[in-house]
Structure 1
Amino acid sequence: MKSLLHAFEQALFALNNIPALIIVAMRGNSLAKKQGYTENTRCRPQIKD
């Protein structure tokens, strides 16, 4: 029972860290776009002529 509770706490800790990791990744992606790197073309807005 104690190990199950410990695993549950570990899972909650990981879930709490996921939003922070996403924010860091998004900031890194926007910083890369400012520097001219456009490797992730899915997030790039479509420019219509």
Structure 2
Amino acid sequence: HFNLSWNTFDGNIPQQLDHMVNIEAIDLSHNKLSGEIPKSLEKLQHIQ
């Protein structure tokens, strides 16, 4: 689990998260992220 919640991040969700090929969960809640979820994250096969 990769917890990035409550960091006041803003802008788009970084496409570089797709390098974490074995990650099962990413928590980006309570930030100020905007835009669409990057298509590149579709290759994360273990994400729930």
Q: What is the TM-score when the length of structure 1 is the normalising length?
A: 0.19
Question: Which structure is higher in helix share?
Answer: 1
The structure, 1 or 2, with the larger RCO (C-alpha pairs under 8 Å, 6+ apart) is: 2
Using the size of structure 2 for normalisation, the TM-score is 0.19
Q: Radius of gyration: which is bigger? A: 1
